[in-house]
Amino acid sequence: MTDLTDLTISESLKKLKAKEISPVELTTAYIEKMKNNDKYNAYVTTTEDLALAQAKEAEKRYANGTNRPLEGIALGIKDLFCTKGVRTTACSHIIDNFVPQYESTVTQHLLDDGALFLGKLNLDEFAMGGSNETSCFGPVVNPWSKETKLVAGGSSGGSAAAVAAKMCAAATGTDTGGSIREPAAFCGVTGIKPTYGRCSRYGIVAFASSLDQAGPIAKDVTDCAILLNSMAGYDAKDSTSSKVDVPDFTSFIGKDIKGLKVGIPQEYRPDGLNKEISDYWDKAAQILKDAGAEIVSVSLPHTKYALPTYYVIAPAEASSNLARYDGVRYGNRKEGNGLDELYINTRTEGFGKEVKRRILIGTYVLSAGYYDAYYLKAQKVRRLIKNDFDEAFKKCDILLTPTSPIEPFAIGDKKMLENPINMYLNDVFTVSVNLAGLPAMSLPIGLSQNGLPFGMQLIGKAFDEETIFKTAYQLERGANFVRM
Ligand code: GLN
C-alpha cells in the first residue's frame, strides 16, 4: 500500500471524500511517522489521543455528510500559538508550563474547519533566531541531514522539519523576519508569510508586533492556498487585523501568468552571492519566462539598510512585549530577597542568551538619549524600504529572489555562534518583506551539490497573495522538485 503520509492535503481530501481512506487511518499514519522520526526533535508536545478522538469525529462527519473543508487533516502547530488546554511554551523556560485557557484565532479557524492537531512544534525561543538552536528544548535536526546534523532553519524549524519528514500534513508557522520562509527553504517545503494583517495575531505569543504574521508551511503551493483560506480573515480581537475580503486562494492555482511582469531586484545579487543559488535564481526566472512571464530588472536601493533596521525595530518591540514575563504578571517565578531580586532571578533563569541579547538591544535603542538616534531613525528607514517596494511594483507585478543566501549549515556551527551578526546576515533576503508588511512565499527550487534544498522567494504587493499563488504554482511545476 502507498504511504498515506506522502499525500498532499488536496489529494487526501479527495480520497477522504471518496471514502478511499479514513481520517483515523490517515492520522494513525502520521502518528507512526512522528514516533519513528523523534530524532529530529520537531515536536515538543504531542497530542495523539486528542488527534485520534478528533479523527473519529471526522469519520462520523464524512459518513453523515457534515464534513468541513479540512475535515480529518492532521496538522502540527508551532508552539507559539496558544492552544486551549494544551501546553504552550514559545520554547522558553520562562513559560514552559503554561497551559492557555483560550485558543488563538488562527488555530480556532483551523479547528472550526475540521483540522486536527498532532502536537506543538519546536521553534527558536520566542521565535528569535534563524536556526532553531535557541529553543530551550534543543535544536531541530534537518531531515535532509547526511552525516552531519544540520539546522532546520528558524524560527519555525519544527514546523518545516515536521512537514518535510511527513510528521504532519502541514503546519502553522509565524514570520517576523523570515521564520516561515527560511526554514521552509532549508527543509525543502513551501511556506507563505501573508500580508501583515491578513491573519489575526490574537493568541500568538508576541515577538515584534508590527512584524509578526502567521502563515502555513506545507508540502506544496496548493496546500498553502487551502490552509491560508482557513487561517486568514478579519478578527476584532486583533486591532491590526485588516478588514479585507479573503478570496479563495485555491482558485488561482493553475491560472496562467502570460504577460505577468516578474521583477528581479538587482541589490539582491551582491558580488559574493553563492554561485549555485545565483544559478537557481536564473533557472527560476527562465521557468517563469517559459510560462509566459516577462522578466524585468528593478531596484530596491535601501536594501542594505534592511538588516540594521530590522535588528533595531524587532528587538525594541520584543523588549516591550517581553516585559510582562517578570514572575509577577507572567512567567515562572524565581523567588529572591525583595522585588528587584525576584525580577532578576526570574528573568536570569527563565530567558536564554539570545532572548536576553534582544531585550538588552531593545531596551537600549528605546532609552532616553538613544531613542532618536536608533529607534526613530530605524522607523524612518523602514518607510524608505517600503517606498522602494512601491516604486518597484510600478514596474512589475511580483518579485523573484532567493530565500536565503546560504544552504543549511551544521548544528553548532562556530561561525554562526561566535558572532550573532553572522546568524543575522542570513536574514538578508527576508526581513525587508516584514518591514514593508508584504506577502512572500518560499518554495523549493532544487538541490545543491551537497544534496540540500534551496528555496526561491516570491514577494507580492500588499494583499495580492493571489499573484503569488498563481506564479508559485507555475514555478513549482517547472522546478519539479522531488519532495523527501
Ligand atoms: N531570524 C530572524 C530573527 O532572528 C527572524 C525570526 C522570525 O521571523 N521570527 O529575528
Q: Looking at residue 222, what is its pLDDT?
A: 98
**Measured in angstroms, how far is the CA atom of residue 227 from the centroid of ligand 1?**
22
Helix (H, G, I), strand (E, B) or coil at 402: strand
β-pairing, 190-193 with 440-447?
antiparallel
- Residue among 81, 91, 128, 313 whose CB has most ligand 1 atoms within 8 A, to mutate: 128
Which residue reads 506544496 in cell numbers?
Answer: 220
Q: What is the mean pLDDT of residues 6-17?
A: 98
The set of residues, in sequence order, having a beta carbon less than 8 Å from that of 290 and lying 6+ positions away, is 478
Task: Please say if 179 is a catalytic residue.
Answer: yes
- Given the CA of residue 175, which atom of ligand 1 is nearest to it? 8
Going by C-alpha positions, the residue among 101, 359, 74, 57 that lies closest to residue 208 is 359
Question: Hey, which of 176, 355, 357 would you mutate to test ligand 1's pocket, going by the most ligand atoms within 8 Å of its Cβ?
Answer: 176
According to the model, what pLDDT value does residue 417 have? Answer: 87
pLDDT digits (tens, 9 = 90+) for 445-458: 999 999 999 999 99
Residue 104 has pLDDT above 90, yes or no: yes
Task: Give nearest CA residue, ligand 1 atom 1.
Answer: 130
Question: Residue 31 contacts by C-beta under 8 Å, 6 or more apart in sequence?
Answer: 48, 51, 52, 118
Residue 132 near residue 394 (C-beta atoms within 8 A)? no
- What number does the ligand 1 atom closest to the CA of 208 have? 9
DSSP state of 210: T
Q: Which of 258, 193, 263 is nearest to 232 (CA)?
A: 193
Taking the centre of ligand 1 as the mean of its atom positions, its distance from the CA of residue 191, in whole angstroms, is 15
CB 414 within 8 A of CB 448: no
Contacts (Cβ under 8 Å, ≥6 apart) of 137: 41, 44, 89, 91, 122
pLDDT digits (tens, 9 = 90+) for 258-313: 999 999 999 999 888 999 999 999 999 999 999 999 999 999 999 999 999 999 99
Give the whole-angstrom CA distance, residue 140 versus residue 131.
8
Of the residues 104, 145, 179, 242, only one is catalytic, namely: 179
Q: How confident is the model over 233-248, as pLDDT tens digits?
A: 999 999 999 999 999 9
**Which atom of ligand 1 is nearest to 176's Cα?**
8
**What mean pLDDT do residues 340-345 have?**
98
3-state secondary structure of 446: strand
* Matching residue, cell 490552509: 227
- Nearest by Cα to 465 from 281, 154, 194, 215: 194
Q: What whole-number distance in Å separates Cα of residue 68 and Cα of residue 476?
A: 28
Using the mean position of ligand 1's atoms as its centre, give its distance from the Cα of residue 175 in Å. 7
Q: Counting atoms of ligand 1 from 1, which one is nearest the CA of 427? A: 1
Q: What is the pLDDT of residue 270?
A: 87
One of 155, 156, 200, 230 is an active-site residue; which one?
155
1 confidence band (pLDDT: 50, 70, 90): low
Question: How many angstroms is it from 129 CA to the middle of ligand 1?
Answer: 5
Distance CA 403, CA 458 (A): 9
H or E stretch at 293: none
What residue's CA is closest to ligand 1, atom 4?
129
Q: What's the gap in Å between 364 CA and the centre of ligand 1?
A: 19
What is the structure's pLDDT at 195? 98
Domain boundaries, the chain: 4-257+466-479
Q: What is the DSSP string of 312-349?
A: HHHHHHHHHHGGGBSSSSBS-----SHHHHHHHHHHHH
Whole-angstrom Cα distance, residue 109 to residue 412? 37
Ligand 1 centre distance from Cα of residue 178 (Å)? 6
Residues 42-67, mean pLDDT to the nearest whole number: 98
Output the nine-digit C-alpha cell for 90: 514559545
Note if 104 is an active site residue. Answer: no
**Tens-place pLDDT, residues 125-150:** 999 999 999 999 999 999 999 999 99
> Are the C-beta atoms of residues 71 and 23 closer than 8 Å to each other?
yes
Task: Using most ligand atoms within 8 A of CB, pick from 134, 155, 421, 432 the residue to mutate for ligand 1.
Answer: 155
Which protein residues touch ligand 1 with a CB less than 6 Å away? 127-130, 155, 175-179, 207, 314, 427
The one-character DSSP state at 24 is: H
Catalytic-role residue among 12, 22, 78, 442: 78
Q: Cα(231)–Cα(473) distance, rounded to whole angstroms?
A: 20
Does pLDDT of 460 surpass 90? yes
Whose C-alpha lies nearest to ligand 1, atom 10?
A: 128
Average pLDDT, the chain: 97
482 exposure class (CB count in 10 Å sphere: 0-12, 13-18, 19+): exposed
DSSP type of residue 263: E
For 170-189, the pLDDT digits (tens) are 999 999 999 999 999 999 99
In this predicted structure, the answer to whether residue 214 has a pLDDT above a threshold of 90 is: yes
Tell me, in angstroms, the distance from the centre of ligand 1 to residue 155's CA.
6
Pick the CATH number of 4-257+466-479 from 3.30.413.10, 2.40.50.660, 3.55.10.10, 3.90.1300.10: 3.90.1300.10
* Nine cell digits for residue 426: 542570513
Rg (CA), the chain: 21
Query: Is 22 a known active-site residue?
Result: no
Cα distance between residue 33 and residue 335, in whole Å: 42
Give percent of the chain with pLDDT exceeding 70.
Answer: 100
- 155 pLDDT higher than 70: yes
Q: State which ligand 1 atom lies nearest to the alpha carbon of 130.
A: 1
Distance, in Å, from the CA atom of 119 to the CA atom of 131, rounded to the nearest integer, reads 21
pLDDT at 2: 81
